[in-house]
């Protein structure tokens, strides 16, 4: 059959009717978020590649961090024999509700989804790690932000070392950055007189520094 066309259907008009024409599309990304055009993407990939090579075997690249640019604490080294993991960007809001006066709590990007569940875009990764760890009993699950198995000085020293390695790798020196170290636990030891706390922490610090001898680590 070959009929002469009556009116050529115009997909443009059809599309325009379907897509609401009154929207003035804002070409900028939502407030506080970033686009990554080619140049920025190159830089990000370079940074993440260095993270990857120095830090955990592989870690999730594509998550929006709601606080710092690239939270260094969330990565540990491939060189250091860590394994990369990832978790959903969307988690239950309950995961982040702690009775602490933290900045994170106030800035939680949370909402109620269509199933009336309280969810949140993750502001940090640790709670996901904790949740995951409860799910599976994996011995020696070294990962992301914290080393799960040994909560001792070696663990922390290892982490510091990996960060130092990362800095050196991307050309940052001790003149540019340093580490301030303290021990949180100390503040909650009830049976320690307050005036002793400062001296004890000094001693503990010294001990910690001793263990931080990783070649020329004078950070």
What part of residues 184-203 is at the interface with other proteins (CB under 8 A)? Answer: 184, 186-188, 190-195, 197-198, 201-202
Q: Which of 90, 170, 172, 207 is the binder for other proteins (CB under 8 A)?
A: 90
Q: To the nearest whole angstrom, how small is the minimum distance from the Cβ of residue 65 to other proteins?
A: 12
By CB under 8 A, is residue 206 in contact with other proteins? Answer: no
Nearest to 148 by CA among 192, 82, 53, 209: 82
Judge contact between 112 and 118, C-beta under 8 A: yes
Residues with Cβ within 8 Å of 99's Cβ and at least 6 positions away in sequence, in order, are none
By CB under 8 A, is residue 47 in contact with other proteins? Answer: no
Give 24 or 175: the residue with its C-beta nearer to other proteins.
24
Q: Is the dihedral of CA 23, 26, 29, 31 positive or negative?
A: negative
The CA dihedral of 205, 211, 171, 143, to the nearest 10 degrees, is -100
Q: Burial, 187: exposed, middle or buried (Cβ in 10 Å; 0-12, 13-18, 19+)?
A: exposed
By CB under 8 A, is residue 13 in contact with other proteins? Answer: yes
Give 149 or 170: the residue with its C-beta nearer to other proteins.
149
Give the angle 173-174-176 at the CA atoms, nearest 5°. Answer: 70
Q: Which of 64, 65, 172, 218 is the binder for other proteins (CB under 8 A)?
A: 64
Q: Which of 51, 75, 125, 145 is the binder for other proteins (CB under 8 A)?
A: 145
One symbol per residue from 146 to 185: x for binding other proteins (CB under 8 A), - otherwise; what is it?
xx-xx-x-xxxxxxxx-x-x-------------xxxxxx-
Q: To the nearest whole angstrom, how small is the minimum distance from the Cβ of residue 99 to other proteins?
A: 5
Judge contact between 54 and 167, C-beta under 8 A: no
Q: Which of 119, 125, 148, 167 is the binder for other proteins (CB under 8 A)?
A: 119
Q: Which of 43, 49, 98, 172 is the binder for other proteins (CB under 8 A)?
A: 98
Q: Which of 55, 75, 78, 125 is the binder for other proteins (CB under 8 A)?
A: 78
End-to-end CA distance of the chain: 83
By CB under 8 A, is residue 208 in contact with other proteins? Answer: no
3-class DSSP state of 128 = helix
By CB under 8 A, is residue 15 in contact with other proteins? Answer: yes
């Amino acid at each position: 059959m070959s009929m002469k066309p009556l009116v050529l259907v115009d997909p443009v008009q059809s599309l325009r009717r379907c897509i609401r024409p009154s929207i003035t599309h804002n070409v900028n990304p939502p407030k506080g978020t970033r686009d990554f055009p080619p140049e920025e993407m190159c830089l990000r990939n370079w940074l993440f590649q260095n993270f990857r090579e120095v830090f955990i075997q592989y870690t999730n690249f594509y998550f929006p961090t709601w606080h710092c640019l690239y939270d260094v604490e969330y990565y540990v080294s491939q060189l250091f024999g860590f394994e990369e993991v990832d978790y959903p960007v969307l988690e239950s809001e309950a995961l982040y509700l702690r009775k602490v006066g933290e900045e994170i709590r106030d800035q939680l990007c949370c909402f109620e989804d269509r199933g009336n569940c309280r969810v949140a875009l993750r502001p940090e990764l640790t709670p996901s790690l904790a949740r995951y760890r409860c799910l599976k009993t994996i011995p020696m699950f070294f990962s992301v932000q914290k080393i799960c198995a040994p909560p001792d000085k070696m663990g922390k020293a290892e982490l510091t070392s990996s960060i130092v390695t990362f800095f050196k790798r991307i050309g940052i020196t001790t003149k540019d950055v340093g580490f301030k170290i303290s021990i949180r636990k100390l503040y909650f030891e009830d049976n320690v007189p307050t005036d002793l706390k400062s001296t004890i922490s000094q001693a503990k610090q010294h001990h910690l520094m001793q263990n931080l001898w990783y070649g020329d680590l004078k950070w």
